[in-house]
Amino acid sequence: MTRMVLSGWAVRDQYRTLISLGRRHLGDEAIRATLAPVRDEAVATLRRGQRQGVFADHVPAPVLAQALEALMLALAEENAASAWADPTNEAAATAFLVDAGVAPQAAALQVRDVVSEAAVSRGRVAGAG
């Protein structure tokens, strides 16, 4: 889930203007329909996590996925429009995991581990060229 969130954040950051225009001109329903395949994957991951006790189970996975999707869209808009900045995407990913029911400290550690792992992988790829 952490990798999915960080990847999604990078895509949202690249296409933030298009997403914002789409929400305004096409409506939230069109954006929800466009994001349906990603949401389906998130729902499956949330269900697995709920069964394993990783994610909160006080709401069904589809409802939680929609709430988390709205959170990410709001964070992306704020990241672009306000003084708040999240250049490493760690704060947004941590907020996502916390809202999914992961303890804040565990969420932050998980995000840092994935970010570090990705940096090491990028270093290997760059060194292989």
Q: How confident is the model at residue 34 (pLDDT cuts 50, 70, 90)?
A: confident
Top pLDDT among 96 and 124 is at 96
Indicate if the pLDDT at residue 55 is higher than 90.
Answer: yes
Measure the CA–CA gap between 23 and 124, rounded to whole angstroms. Answer: 38
| Nearest of 64, 61, 62, 112 to residue 89 by alpha carbon | 112
Distances in Å between the alpha carbon of 4 and those of 45, 63, 98, 115? 10, 18, 15, 12
